[in-house]
Chains A and B, each alone.
Chain A
Amino acid sequence: MQQLSQRMSHGESLSLMQKRYLALAAPALKTFTLQQQKQQQQPHRWTATSTISSRQQQQVTTPPPRHDWNRAVSEAERIVGYPTSFLSLRWLLSDEIANVALHLRKLVGSAHPLMKTAKHLLYNGKNTMQAWGLIVLLVSKAAGHAASIPDVEQDKSAGVLHSQRALAEVTEMIRISHLVHNSVVNLQASTEAGQDVATYDDMSFGNKIGLLTGDYLLGHSSAELANLRNQEVVELISSAVRDFSESEFIGERDEQNNPLPYKPGTFQRPSLNVGVDFNEHDVMTPMPIAQVLGNPEQEWECRNILNAGSLLGKSCQASLKLAGQSEELQRHAYRFGKHLAMAWQACLDAEPFQCSTLPLDATFSLVSAPVLFHLEHDPSLYAQLEKGKQSVENIDYDQIHKAILAGPALAKTKELQRKHTAAALAVLQHFPATDARQALENIILAMQDL
């Protein structure tokens, strides 16, 4: 009886999402309640961790010896009460997604890139940064919220607001919708894919499912955003969607819209040495990318801000908006998200060059940092890249891999990663020292060791 009433009172603090989860997933209910009870066994957990964090504060100067990525992430998840699986579970509960899963079966065995994207999303290995929602929540918790926020808005157990949790979900939905929309295959009649009669139907069907799934996620994000009742946040996050779509138009593209670098010498090296960023006062203004084309580092930054940094940065910023934090702290949050995304991207870009020979069938982006840096060092590489104008698959990746390893590009990429890592860590110092901030630092440090 006592247990029941305990459960009831706990139920009141469940987020809407969890309620829906409870209502729909009766079989999962049992395990779920078990989890809840387990959490209740540690009623003073948060006070406990806060003492830990003050202890950690003293240790900040001496970081733990080894940075294990998985450990850093799972500890961070615990801090914000955010199991990674919850998003995928919720997905399976909606009619539309159940429908998609059914249709996806027909695509199994086909070469549609949607399958690859789906696999990539489901088997979330250590090398995919699924944890964007997690980052948003950690930043939210690290910043705390204004005293004016009413109690009902707060998820006391995790130290973040319900609205921030919803925003974190929106962030992931938007990111996944972009990935899914990006797996649409160009079936124009003039392309190779469009002429392959054998696979045309599969491809066309895959496009349909991919398009609708992405639209479903976008539609639901916009509904969830609207329910946050904060129009500045809606504006900001919508602009991140805009940035995503803009990112797919920059520079030359092959038939399947894979990016190719500009021909060296197309642009005069711009004189400005500072990077460009969005206009802080008007979200409608697009990234002034034309100013930096020709400068490999800044061009890379711009491409990847549009492609990744914008959403993570703007989500962190929006989350602090929801918490009623100052404009200044909001800007710090944006910068943190942006630099973290950049550091992560640099790390991903460097990865194919970590071993002396390229693994079989492995490829890399032709606008990744090592390629752009190498082109600056040796413009003659462009002759090789030009072969990819119809399809990037026509390129001899092994040869380029070898050339890049022989040059200074990899070192420059590592330097780039360090630069953004340092910038992210520096911005973090504007946040009070908490377990959440420590978790963010751990994630960044673990990323460096990957």
Chain B
Amino acid sequence: MACLTTSGRLACGSRRQQTHKFLCQLFAVRCQSLSTSTSVSSSSSLASSAYPLQRQRQQQQQQQLRRGFHGLSFSIGQDYLDLLQNPHSCSHHLKYSQCSKTNLRQHSSVHTQQPAGPVREIQIDPYIILDDELKYFYDDVRDLLQSGTSQPELDTIASYYFDGQGKALRPMVTMLMAKAINYHLNNESHQLVHKQRQIALFSEMVHSASLVHDDVIDQSDFRRGKPSVNALWNHKKVTMAGDYILSIASIMIARLRSDDVTIVLSKILTDLVQGEFMQLGSRETENERFAHYLTKTYRKTASLIANALKATAVIAQADDNVAELAFQYGRNIGLAFQLVDDMLDFVSSTEQMGKPTAADLKLGLATAPVLFACEKYPELNPMVMRRFSEPGDVERAFELVHKSHGLEQTRFLAKKHCNEAIRLAQELTESPYQKGLQVVADLVINRMK
């Protein structure tokens, strides 16, 4: 299904429909309660598309309003979604989306109907309320990277993933939390927001640096729908470019002149590496496996968000309780995000994720869906132990995961973390940003890519 936004950018993926179908089936019961259609006015930045709600098997179509944010998208109150883009974005987008133009015409009609029901009323689009902070976000990262080197090639490699194609989830959540805390503390000075924005820059830069190094380690050829850095440049240079991004990010943070912020953020780096080492796989027993998986997930993904959010609280001189709240919110969001990511690895298409499906299995990694599936199909255990290395392992594991309830269970766990995040957000003073933090939890659980 492809959708065109008025900005001319489009997002699509013909196999997304299959994914939707899958998720529809998962939540058929819930969906059925939402049968009445309501009309919702369409704004220029929104588009919606058709998906089966009731009687999916007969492919009867009903319309749904969908809203999209920067590649992250969700549908209101529903557990499936589509990807749309919002209008503020860089021109870089177009060149990468040429390939999908063929799908454009057939699906460009804008549908505005949506089922009524227990739908959470949401007027907040985090990306729109953070427009000021996020508009030139990637431009600023690129400027920063460029200012630190006299070597054009280093600049090119280091800037490669700051093309505006990413979801910018980390900076978005960081800024939401920053502004929600500022509102909570009644301190909304421009200077403070600027400093917090540097922390958001740091979070995205560290994330990209880790992607760059991951690319060398995993040797995958594509990321985010374009050739990965290791396919294009000398691996030694790519390694150095990762170090470069990190060093520039550290200089930037040191310039905030806050000892505590630097300490909080440096924790991210040690966690990231320790997470990677955990992934190298000591062979834990079945009982320890899930704990190991969760710790690894925290270190590799959640720590970055949690500590970045905590840093925005620390720099705002919030008390320890607020800083801990920010941290825990980030931890829960981060864990949910990764759980959904691990689930999508089994249901999404290559086109959508920008990387091959079942990539984790192919890398020998047993993620939550597999670990859950082990309960029903113990034959998975030896495969997990040998890291799906024998011929046929990946295919068989893939099949068994789909046969089991592994995906639903993973999703359920993610949902639990999201609910906890929402609960935490509600402890802050009510503000558009505080509302935004709750919306993000929905975005994370409902994302498709």
CA distance A232 to B259 in the complex (A): 10
The answer, yes or no, to whether A187 is at the interface (CB within 8 Å) is yes
A249 pairs with B270, CB closer than 8 A:
no
B254 pairs with A231, CB closer than 8 A:
yes
Q: Which listed residue (B240, B248, B266) contacts A226, Cβ 8 A?
A: B266
B276 pairs with A212, CB closer than 8 A:
yes
- Min Cβ gap B185→A in Å is 23
With a CB–CB cut-off of 8 A, which chain B residues contact A181?
Answer: 236, 239-240, 243
With a CB–CB cut-off of 8 A, which chain B residues contact A188?
Answer: 230-231, 233-235
CA distance A172 to B140 in the complex (A): 33
CB contacts under 8 Å to B, within A269-326, are: 283-290
The answer, yes or no, to whether B399 is at the interface (CB within 8 Å) is no
A219 pairs with B269, CB closer than 8 A:
yes
A245 pairs with B247, CB closer than 8 A:
yes
A99-B257 CB under 8 A given contacts A208-B217, A249-B240? no
- Min Cβ gap B222→A in Å is 14
CA distance A207 to B217 in the complex (A): 7
CB contacts under 8 Å to B, within A182-229, are: 182, 184-189, 204, 207-208, 211-212, 214-216, 218-220, 222-223, 225-227, 229
Main secondary structure of the interface of A (DSSP, over half): helix
With a CB–CB cut-off of 8 A, which chain B residues contact A253?
Answer: 234, 237
The answer, yes or no, to whether B251 is at the interface (CB within 8 Å) is yes
Q: Which listed residue (B150, B240, B274, B277) contacts A248, Cβ 8 A?
A: B240
- Min Cβ gap A417→B in Å is 27
With a CB–CB cut-off of 8 A, which chain A residues contact B257?
Answer: 231
A246 pairs with B235, CB closer than 8 A:
no
The answer, yes or no, to whether A390 is at the interface (CB within 8 Å) is no
CA distance A290 to B151 in the complex (A): 9
The answer, yes or no, to whether A96 is at the interface (CB within 8 Å) is yes
A288 pairs with B150, CB closer than 8 A:
yes
A242 pairs with B267, CB closer than 8 A:
no
- Min Cβ gap B221→A in Å is 9
A231 pairs with B255, CB closer than 8 A:
yes
Q: Which listed residue (A178, A211, A289) contacts B150, Cβ 8 A?
A: A289
Q: Which of A182, A188, A222 has the most CB of B within 10 A?
A: A222
Q: Chain A: which residue is nearest B263 at the CB level? A: A226
CA distance A182 to B234 in the complex (A): 12
With a CB–CB cut-off of 8 A, which chain B residues contact A215?
Answer: 213, 272-273, 276
The answer, yes or no, to whether B149 is at the interface (CB within 8 Å) is yes
B150 pairs with A186, CB closer than 8 A:
no
CA distance A186 to B240 in the complex (A): 12
Q: Which listed residue (A95, A234, A286) contacts B262, Cβ 8 A?
A: A234
- Min Cβ gap A367→B in Å is 15
B277 pairs with A184, CB closer than 8 A:
no
B237 pairs with A242, CB closer than 8 A:
no
B251 pairs with A238, CB closer than 8 A:
yes
- Min Cβ gap A281→B in Å is 13
A219-B273 CB under 8 A given contacts A207-B216, A248-B237, A249-B240? yes
B219 pairs with A187, CB closer than 8 A:
yes
Q: Which listed residue (B151, B235, B244, B259) contacts A229, Cβ 8 A?
A: B259
A223 pairs with B266, CB closer than 8 A:
yes
Interface residues as binary, B245-271 with A (CB distance below 8 Å gives 1, 0 otherwise): 011101101111111001101110110
Q: Chain A: which residue is nearest B158 at the CB level? A: A245
The answer, yes or no, to whether A7 is at the interface (CB within 8 Å) is no
CA distance A230 to B20 in the complex (A): 52
CB contacts under 8 Å to A, within B261-316, are: 262-263, 265-267, 269-270, 272-274, 276-277, 280, 282
B247 pairs with A238, CB closer than 8 A:
yes
With a CB–CB cut-off of 8 A, which chain B residues contact A177?
Answer: 243
Main secondary structure of the interface of B (DSSP, over half): helix
With a CB–CB cut-off of 8 A, which chain B residues contact A283?
Answer: 251
- Min Cβ gap B172→A in Å is 25
Q: Chain B: which residue is nearest A180 at the CB level? A: B239
Interface residues as binary, B131-156 with A (CB distance below 8 Å gives 1, 0 otherwise): 00000000000000001111101100
Q: Which listed residue (A96, A218, A239) contacts B277, Cβ 8 A?
A: A96
With a CB–CB cut-off of 8 A, which chain A residues contact B272?
Answer: 215, 219
- Min Cβ gap B387→A in Å is 13
The answer, yes or no, to whether B241 is at the interface (CB within 8 Å) is yes
A211 pairs with B282, CB closer than 8 A:
no
CA distance A226 to B236 in the complex (A): 27
With a CB–CB cut-off of 8 A, which chain A residues contact B256?
Answer: 231
A99 pairs with B217, CB closer than 8 A:
no
Q: Which of B230, B244, B250 has the most CB of A within 10 A?
A: B250
CA distance A242 to B259 in the complex (A): 21
- Min Cβ gap B275→A in Å is 10
- Min Cβ gap A20→B in Å is 15
CA distance A218 to B274 in the complex (A): 12
B273 pairs with A212, CB closer than 8 A:
yes
Q: Chain B: which residue is nearest A225 at the CB level? A: B266
CA distance A218 to B272 in the complex (A): 11
CA distance A290 to B235 in the complex (A): 25
B277 pairs with A235, CB closer than 8 A:
no
A234-B250 CB under 8 A given contacts A96-B273, A96-B277, A212-B280? yes
CA distance A286 to B244 in the complex (A): 12
CA distance A253 to B240 in the complex (A): 14
The answer, yes or no, to whether A55 is at the interface (CB within 8 Å) is no
With a CB–CB cut-off of 8 A, which chain B residues contact A186?
Answer: 234-236
Q: Which listed residue (A216, A242, A256, A257) contacts B248, Cβ 8 A?
A: A242
Q: Chain B: which residue is nearest A193 at the CB level? A: B235
- Min Cβ gap B216→A in Å is 6
- Min Cβ gap B156→A in Å is 10
B254 pairs with A235, CB closer than 8 A:
yes
CA distance A253 to B250 in the complex (A): 28
A249 pairs with B243, CB closer than 8 A:
no
A249 pairs with B151, CB closer than 8 A:
yes
With a CB–CB cut-off of 8 A, which chain A residues contact B235?
Answer: 184-188, 207
CA distance A204 to B174 in the complex (A): 35
Query: 7 other contacts beyond A215-B276, A248-B236, with CB at 8 A cut-off?
Result: A188-B235, A189-B231, A214-B239, A218-B269, A219-B273, A231-B257, A249-B149
**Which 9 residue pairs across A and B have the least CB separation, nearest first?**
A238-B250, A241-B247, A226-B266, A234-B254, A219-B269, A249-B151, A235-B254, A242-B247, A245-B240
What are 17 A-B contacts defined by CB distance under 8 Å? A182-B236, A186-B236, A187-B219, A214-B239, A214-B243, A235-B254, A235-B255, A241-B243, A241-B246, A241-B247, A245-B243, A246-B151, A248-B236, A253-B237, A284-B248, A286-B149, A289-B150
